[in-house]
Structure 1
Amino acid sequence: MSAQLWVGYQSDSAKVAGYREKIGLDYSMADFSVASIDEEKMGSRLANLLRFYEEVNNQGSYSRWIGTILGEQNEALEHSYVEVKKQKLMKVEKSADEITIIYKLWLDKNPANIKQTEIQYHFKDGVSESNTVNDMFSHMSHYVQAREIINK
């Protein structure tokens, strides 16, 4: 029995390490709190991830991920399909080994009748507690990395 638990633990830690590597957040900069994408303070990797996020958040798979994450963070939206009409970056904050990103979202009509809400992406040591957040940021990171290589 304990051997089975260990195998599960190993695969979970390997999965977390994989997310950490794929997402690739940089923690070398000083702690900061900003209300806009500021590459000098947050580093180019996070700045590029947020720029990409803002470009693609209304595309199919990203829209579904955002809806799922909203459902994880807001019980009223848990079983609703939601579309984001507009978004605004409210804050990006780094404190020691934690990075928190908060966007204000304006939603299209939805069964919960919520017009505005916030979505929070929280990373500790480069990964989120939410696998959905990790999946979305890993996926975005793939494209951001390709852009970084092309633009060198």
Structure 2
Amino acid sequence: RDSDVVAEVTRSLFDTARQYRESFDATGSKKSFEWQQVENEEPILHTKGLPEPQIPKRVKVPDYAHLLPEPIRRFTQPAAIQDAEHLSFLQGGGHGGSHPHLAHAFLSAVRGERPALPDAATSANWTLVGICAHQSAMKGGERVTIPRF
């Protein structure tokens, strides 16, 4: 809302002719970010105004473990995974170390140390999108208006 940024979230899990993918892309008027398409590649940052061959650039996503409490910092790294054969890890690729950040943010909000992120209104909007998508699918793809929360 009120932004020139478009986001796309993708999840390819099974019965598709591609590797597992759970990612996001953010497209803006000056820069765009694309999560890697293939495992073990780096994401791509596109910059407007550069000569055509220089627009896309592979970038390394930094590890922000230093923002977490010491006891859970190691869980942003694949080496900390206890069971690398667990289905959630095999299919989820470890989610790039996001789980400790999400858990820390949630617990900090519960303790009243920070606002919840996403907040209640954002969470409701995200939920409504899923509910409306399901309603649309159940009606053969009929357009369903997403109410504002």
Measured against the shorter chain, the TM-score band is under 0.3
Structure having the higher helix fraction is: 1
Pick the structure with greater CA Rg. 2
Q: Given the two structures, how large is their TM-score scaled by the length of structure 1?
A: 0.23
Tell which has more relative contact order, 1 or 2 (C-alpha 8 A, sep 6+): 1
